[in-house]
């Protein structure tokens, strides 16, 4: 193992979840220019030994980039842990308060 490649076999579920969430910072919403993690779109990450499941919401119900964002998120999470990954669209409505603190200040929000 190199320093940049974590040993997943020794990581706790919490550490794996954080690893996935950190990796999802590279999946950007093309209209807003912020990551799905920064926006608070990743609502749940469930990790088991041989699979993971992510619940994700969109900023709007009719987001034109939803299919691409969902697939990019699934692919990045699967790449990160190397296990099959499913993704589910959550029914929760996105609200700007779900974004990371201070991330929307340039927009005049919060």
Question: Which of 47, 51, 57 has its CA nearest to residue 88?
Answer: 57
Provide the pLDDT for residue 92: 94
Distances (CA, A) of 45 to 16, 54, 108: 10, 5, 30
Specify the DSSP element, H or E, that contains 22: helix 13-23
Q: Reply yes or no on whether the pLDDT at 5 is more than 90.
A: no
Give the model's confidence band at 7: pLDDT under 50 very low, under 70 low, under 90 confident, else very high.
confident
Mean pLDDT of 51-55: 97
Angle at 100 between CA 98 and CA 104, to 5 degrees: 90
Contacts of 65 (CB under 8 A, 6+ apart): 29, 30, 31
Q: Kindly state the DSSP code that residue 98 receives in the 8-state scheme.
A: G
Give the model's confidence band at 2: pLDDT under 50 very low, under 70 low, under 90 confident, else very high.
very low
Domains detected in the chain: 11-90 (3.30.300.130)
pTM of the predicted structure, to 2 decimals: 0.88
């Amino acid at each position: 193992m190199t320093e940049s490649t974590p040993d997943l076999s020794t990581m706790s579920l919490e550490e794996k979840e954080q690893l996935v969430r950190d990796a999802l910072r590279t999946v950007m919403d093309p209209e807003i220019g912020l990551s799905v993690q920064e926006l608070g779109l990743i609502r749940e990450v469930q990790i088991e030994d041989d699979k993971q499941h992510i619940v994700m919401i969109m900023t709007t119900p009719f987001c034109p980039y939803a299919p691409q964002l969902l697939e990019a998120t699934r692919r990045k999470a699967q790449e990160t842990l190397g296990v099959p990954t499913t993704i589910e669209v959550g029914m929760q409505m996105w609200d700007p308060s779900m974004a990371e603190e201070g991330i929307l200040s340039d927009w005049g929000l919060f």
